Amino acid sequence: MDWPVGGLIEGRYEVFDIKAPSLGVVYICYDHQTRDPVVIKTYPDSLLSPPLTRTRFMANAQAWQELGAHPHIVQALAVRDIEGKPHVFVEFVEPSLAGHTLRYRLRAGQVPAEEADRILHAVCTAFIYAAERKPDMVHGDVRPENVMMTREDRVKVTDFGMVISLTDPAAIDIGGLAPDVPVSTGITLSEGGIPLCAVPYVAPERLSPGAAPSLLSDIYSFGCLAFEVLTGRWPFEAATVPEMLRAHQQAEPQRAPLEETGVSAAVAGAVVRCLAKDPGARPQSFAEVMGLLSGVESPTSVPAPMVGGIEAAAPELSAPDAAAAEPVESLAREAVEPEAAAEELADRALESAPYPEAAAAEPPAAMDVAPGEMEAVPAASLVEEEAAAPQAEGAATEPSLSIEELVELGVHAARSGRLDEAVSFWENALREDWRTPSAHANLGAALAAKGESRRAHTHLREAVRLDPRRPQAHFNLGRLYHDEGEFEKAVDAYRAAVDLDPNYGVAYVALGATLEALGRSDEAAAAYAAAVERCDDRRAKERLEALRSRGAGQ
């Protein structure tokens, strides 16, 4: 059934506007129970009638709903069957003055570099969060029409998995398309009315019959979107649909528009990599895309695969000096394998903690907020947080809590041994503002302690990108690299930590152990000597004496 303006859906939702995008119907409604606006989306019976399509649509809509709330994602609130047809209830987004979507903003004229950077980082942030919550999530229709622009100047991605629920991958046939069909920004339909793809944004591998959309095809589509945001043009010049599809398969993206608009080499290189024909040559995650856009070199290694929820051991780099390898490895891991993850976090998360000159073997147990700063948290907030421990996520989303309070409550929970609750607080701080380095640093340290190295990498690298002056984040990255056998990268991270904090004794110990494993004995001895000078570390003393007995560091 179709409802007119003024009609009531389920006797509750009054329709006050109707939008008709390229495929579906969008009802803008007033909910008479909550007294809030809400959006209800559905698609024509002709597209939803096949049972397999309907099942796929419901599954994708529910996956979108399970993403929950995030500042850069339009929230799917519910999926309901109304009069035999599935409908998706979505949060109402009050549009910006320029219009509802990024498409309207692009039509208004050239996007300044700072605004373009903000838009692209927001879109990446949405996909990073989606990948963390739903690793198998595929959007399938990344284009400006699905990037909402709000009145508060916030960017929000919408319609996760919707269009690909309706498309038939086997139906895309370049040869079967009429040669004079002009390129449009909407979804191109087959002669039988089946949705195919948004032609300017489709990845080349999706043009093979039966090819399913994937994360890497989303990254390609993002590359097309990013190119358009930065230049106002598509990456390929083509007048007709067949020409554009062939360009995706065969042509190289234009370089001139990127050069003419003064895009930095790092950003231009990131976009071009997203547009690689070979999916394996593209960035392999949106976290990597974010790093490239920010000029941060992405890691060449891939973390070890997950096996049954437990991370498989990464291959270890064989030490050139076999005699020294065993004690070095045990030294490097002595503080990495405590009996509980909370103890591990105390060793890893060293944000803002002082480094006493006589720290001995025990590094300071701290997160991103020093103990004295915890007193700034209102006592009532702490009491409420304690009482709500079984429902930590609900407590963390309490609207009265600021980002700073969420970070501090996470610290308090972690110190009390409630690591999962701490993770929830820090995740909620990032939902409020992804660009909160303290939340990234602490969340990365906590995830590393729990053995979730993939996610730990994402957040620690983001902490360093947002604030490169954080020695503890560099140190924790070094620990991850060491655990994965990436010793050279670990050395670079540890050096960054001690350059930023010359009194960081624990980092000198780890640096010495890693250099010794690489056979660089003189450098290792110097690092151990620095550790002994700063924190009188027993382990560093023993290794320094062993190296000097072999003539190193003299």
- Sketch out the chain's domains with CATH numbers: 8-91 (3.30.200.20), 102-293 (1.10.510.10), 344-352+369-467 (1.25.40.10)
pLDDT > 70: percent of the chain: 75
The encoded tokens of residue 308 equal 């049954």
Above 80 in pLDDT, residue 310?
no
pLDDT the model gives residue 388: 31
What span, in angstroms and rounded, lies between the C-alpha atoms of 239 and 180? 9
pLDDT the model gives residue 308: 24
Dihedral angle computed from the Cα positions of residues 539, 502, 494 and 541, in that order, rounded to the nearest 10 degrees:
-10
Q: What is the rounded average pLDDT of the residues 8-35?
A: 88
What span, in angstroms and rounded, lies between the C-alpha atoms of 101 and 185? 13
Above 90 in pLDDT, residue 462?
no
Between 454 and 94, the higher pLDDT residue: 94
The encoded tokens of residue 15 equal 């329709």
Mean pLDDT estimate for the chain: 76
Between 520 and 551, the higher pLDDT residue: 520
CB atoms within 10 A of CB 442: 34
Q: What is the rounded average pLDDT of the residues 53-79?
A: 90
What span, in angstroms and rounded, lies between the C-alpha atoms of 342 and 420? 10
pLDDT the model gives residue 170: 55
pLDDT the model gives residue 354: 27
Per-residue pLDDT tens digits for 87-142: 999 999 888 776 789 999 999 888 998 899 989 999 998 999 899 888 889 998 89
The single residue listed with the structure tokens 């929230």 is: 75
pLDDT the model gives residue 278: 95
As a whole number of Å, the CA-based R_g of the chain is 26
The encoded tokens of residue 554 equal 């003299």
Per-residue pLDDT tens digits for 357-377: 222 223 323 333 322 222 222
41: enclosing H helix or E strand? strand 36-42
pLDDT > 90: percent of the chain: 26
- φ, ψ at 546 (rounded to 5°): -65, -40
What span, in angstroms and rounded, lies between the C-alpha atoms of 474 and 510? 12
Q: What is the rounded average pLDDT of the residues 140-152?
A: 90
pLDDT the model gives residue 185: 65
Q: What is the rounded average pLDDT of the residues 251-260?
A: 90
pLDDT the model gives residue 216: 95
541 confidence band (pLDDT: 50, 70, 90) = confident
Above 90 in pLDDT, residue 394?
no
pLDDT the model gives residue 190: 53
The encoded tokens of residue 142 equal 């990344």
pLDDT the model gives residue 470: 87
Above 80 in pLDDT, residue 168?
no
Above 60 in pLDDT, residue 262?
yes
pLDDT the model gives residue 40: 94
Contacts of 256 (CB under 8 A, 6+ apart): none
> 365, exposed or middle or buried, with CB in 10 Å at 0-12, 13-18, 19+?
middle
Among 356, 317, 334, smallest CA distance to 540 is for 334
pLDDT the model gives residue 195: 57
What span, in angstroms and rounded, lies between the C-alpha atoms of 229 and 521? 51
Distances (CA, A) of 87 to 44, 50, 79: 11, 16, 6
Between 435 and 375, the higher pLDDT residue: 435
- φ, ψ at 131 (rounded to 5°): -65, -35
14 confidence band (pLDDT: 50, 70, 90) = very high
70: enclosing H helix or E strand? none
Q: What is the rounded average pLDDT of the residues 469-490?
A: 86
Look up residue 345 and give its amino acid.
L
- φ, ψ at 85 (rounded to 5°): -130, 135
